[in-house]
Amino acid sequence: MLRTLLRAALAAALVAAALAPVPAAASPTCAAEAAVTSSWGSGFTALVTVTNTGDAPVQGWTASWTHPEGQAVTSAWNAGLGADGAAYTARSAAWNGGLAPGASADFGVQGTTVGGEVEFTGLTCGFDTDGKGDAVRIMPLGDSITGSPGCWRALLWRDLADAGQEADFVGTLPGDGCGFAYDGDHEGHGGYLVTNVAAQGLLPGWLEHADPDTVLMHFGTNDVWSGVPTAGILAAYDTLLAQMRAHDPGIRLLVAQIIPMDPDRSCGTCGQGVRDLNAALPDWAAANTTPESPVTVVDQWTGFDTDEDTYDGVHPSASGDRRIADRWFAALVS
């Protein structure tokens, strides 16, 4: 009798467990809105806010929209930007993709317009369910040759996209307009010396913000102009590389043999200073590369004509931007 009662009780418990309601899985939902922050006759800037309206945290977001004819986005910051005609998609950066329920993230865009009210048509958002994107996070690092306006970055980003290589350019600085939409984030700081960046410990904060997989470093032009010897520049490179590896032991560094400077339009010793630095780079890279964290030299110097490829003897012109983008592209996809 006792065995019968126990069997009955067990059966009842199993039935009750089977019939017990299963808590619904947390479903990620979001809301997106855009606000024009500045507008002038031929352009605009806007701030787009993505909010996690669901009941579960997420680790990555996207926003998509279109613009009517006559309006176009030329650059974005705090998000990676993709474009297909008039359709745009922004993807969270490595540092702002995580959103708790109710939390929001902002990103900015700059664009052109022929007039009329700026419209973000069909603005929608979504989340990366696994929190992992396929895009390689690339930090362009350097001085004004990288940063202002640095349209070689725009050309490179477009070339990678056209080749089916998904890239998320990252950094604390927004891009400038280069005539078409691109992911403009970067670390090209005009006037900076690489020796000062190393001595002042600026890079770790940038790395924490951007979390790159790959760094494209064209750095040292202002040091050469300031008379810093090659050994001092390479010592700064040592410091920056150590900081990169402290942040990510598997980081990949592509370091440029920097473009030439016209001595007549820069400094009398600048031409030789660039040659000395570039000549020392292959040995420096060979001494520092590892299988886990490769260091690759990219020749940006050979064939670069300061008369044709710069507008002032130092900074790249349109043809110089094209040359620089081509060299980086070949190194990235090899």
Task: Enter the CATH code of domain 136-333.
Answer: 3.40.50.1110
The single-letter DSSP state of residue 332 is H
pLDDT in tens, 225-261: 999 999 999 999 999 999 999 999 999 999 999 999 9
Kindly report the CA angle at 295 between 178 and 146, in degrees rounded to 5? 20
Complete edge-to-edge strand list for the sheet that includes strand 87-92: 79-84, 87-92, 61-66, 121-127
Please report, for the chain, the start and end positions of each structural domain, with discontinuous segments joined by +: 30-128, 136-333
Backbone angles phi, psi at 313, to 5 degrees: 90, -5
pLDDT in tens, 56-112: 888 888 899 999 988 999 888 888 887 878 889 888 876 788 898 999 999 999 989
Kindly report the CA angle at 183 between 180 and 186, in degrees rounded to 5? 120
pLDDT in tens, 251-302: 999 999 999 999 899 899 999 999 999 999 999 999 999 999 999 999 999 9
Report d(CA 11, CA 9) in Å as an integer. Answer: 5
Report d(CA 183, CA 74) in Å as an integer. Answer: 9
Which range of 107-121, 153-167, 289-303 scores highest in mean pLDDT? It is 289-303
Report d(CA 153, CA 175) in Å as an integer. Answer: 9
Residue 49 binned pLDDT confidence (cut-offs 50, 70, 90): very high
Q: Which two tokens stand for residue 6?
A: 């126990």
Kindly report the CA angle at 275 between 160 and 318, in degrees rounded to 5? 40
Residue 190 binned pLDDT confidence (cut-offs 50, 70, 90): very high
Q: What pLDDT, on the 0 to 100 scale, is given for residue 131?
A: 45
Report d(CA 139, CA 217) in Å as an integer. Answer: 8
Report, as an integer, the average pLDDT of 294-313: 97
Complete edge-to-edge strand list for the sheet that includes strand 43-52: 30-40, 43-52, 104-113, 71-77
**Secondary structure of residue 96 in the 3-state scheme:** coil
The single-letter DSSP state of residue 70 is T
Length of the chain: 334
Report d(CA 291, CA 209) in Å as an integer. Answer: 26
Q: What pLDDT, on the 0 to 100 scale, is given for residue 3?
A: 40
Instruction: Residue 8: count other Cβ atoms within 10 Å of its Cβ.
Output: 10
**Cis amide bond preceding 149, omega within 30:** yes
Report d(CA 218, CA 38) in Å as an integer. Answer: 33
pLDDT in tens, 204-231: 999 999 999 999 999 999 999 999 999 9
Task: Compare 3 and 174 and report the one with higher pLDDT.
Answer: 174
Backbone angles phi, psi at 33, to 5 degrees: -145, 150
Task: Enter the CATH code of domain 30-128.
Answer: 2.60.40.290
Report d(CA 142, CA 140) in Å as an integer. Answer: 7
What single letter denotes the amino acid at residue 131? G
Q: Which two tokens stand for residue 68?
A: 């009517």
Q: What pLDDT, on the 0 to 100 scale, is given for residue 106?
A: 94
Q: What pLDDT, on the 0 to 100 scale, is given for residue 27?
A: 56
What single letter denotes the amino acid at residue 12? A
The model carries a pTM of: 0.73
